[in-house]
Amino acid sequence: MDDDIRYEQHVRRVLRTPLLVLQPLMLAMWPLSLWSNPLIGSPYKARYFALMLLLLGISALLSVARSARMMSLTFTGNIWALILAFRIQIQDGGAVGHYWNLPIAIVVVLGTCGLTYRLSHYLTTLAGAAFILFAGQAQLIPAAMPVQLVGLLVGATLAIGIAYNHANSQWMRRTFILKERYRILAETDELTGIANRRKLLERVDAARGESGQAPRHFVMLDIDNFKEINDRHGHQVGDQVLFATARQLDQLDPRLQGGRLGGEEFGLLIRDLDEARVSQLLETLRRRLAEAEPLGIRFSAGALRLTPELSLNELLRQADEGLYRAKRQGKDQTVWIR
């Protein structure tokens, strides 16, 4: 899976709970402000109900968003809708309504800085909110407030919001990188660098349950005479043989996913090839390994086609049976289980 996709999934998991917790607070803020505002007369006007429906609709979209990008876009739309609602309330408040401008702007700047994972998204959210809140207003702040102090307050608030957004984005990126390192360590065989037993069997189990007509095969492969190689040439050469085998598996075909099952035993998951082409692929592997350094490598294998009806344990048992039949029949060959 691509790193960008993994990062998007990581961000979604990090931000989903805070955003969903924030939604009821944002929804409650609007009716509470209406009931508490003595400047607007009745809080039960048709346009207020329409705005509440808009906020509910966007919140519903946010709750079902399946990607970090969609969550971010929906959250931005939610903020813009909330600002629109307050802008209308400010207008309905008459001449004194503009006292709300600065507090609302500060709440938006500080309240959203930790809930967008890219600085560009954060600045876009703020720019749209500022336009909705301030465009066309004859008076942005009360005349009694010194412009210099307001400018200082707005600048400091923006600086804090941008700094926090940047720090939060970097924190999410660092935790993702650390998590990926642990994932790779947990899924990779330390000696050979390919998938370990747990990761390979996860892939095989997932492929076993896939629907569709594309064939999927599993091959269990064991290096012939590996104990003799270790005894005669030493464990260092034995390790080189394992590494050379893994390298050839990794370079053989993009439709093949290999892993080390343990010791000198490897497993191959092969997609989208019929039995004849899988046999050809194994013969290519046999030829390449026979020419590999530090010495020629030979293997025996058991192979079978995956089906949803075949459990993972039964699949491994049958592949193992084919492997040992190949060993008993003289080694350096593949036995198919049909």
Q: What is the largest CA-CA distance in the chain?
A: 98
Give me the residue spans of the domains in the chain.
3-184, 197-336
Cα–Cα distance for residue pair 264/300, rounded to 1 Å: 11
CB 241 within 8 A of CB 294: yes
What are the backbone dihedrals phi and psi of residue 267, each rounded to the nearest 5 degrees, phi first? Answer: -125, 145
264 noted as active-site residue: yes
Instruction: Give me the sign of the Cα torsion angle 127, 132, 136, 141.
Output: negative
Structure tokens at 324: 């040992």
What is the topology classification, in CATH, of domain 197-336?
Answer: Alpha-Beta Plaits (3.30.70)
Q: Which of 187, 202, 264, 314 is catalytic?
A: 264
Element (H, E) at 268: strand 265-271
Query: Could you list the pLDDT tens digit for every one of the 338 residues in the chain?
Result: 577 888 888 888 888 888 888 888 888 888 999 999 888 888 899 999 999 999 999 888 888 888 888 888 899 999 999 999 999 998 888 878 888 888 899 999 999 998 888 899 999 999 999 999 998 877 777 777 788 888 899 999 999 999 999 999 999 999 999 998 998 889 999 999 999 999 999 999 999 887 667 899 999 999 999 999 998 999 999 999 999 999 999 999 999 999 999 999 999 999 999 999 999 999 999 999 998 877 789 999 999 999 888 899 999 999 999 999 999 999 999 999 98
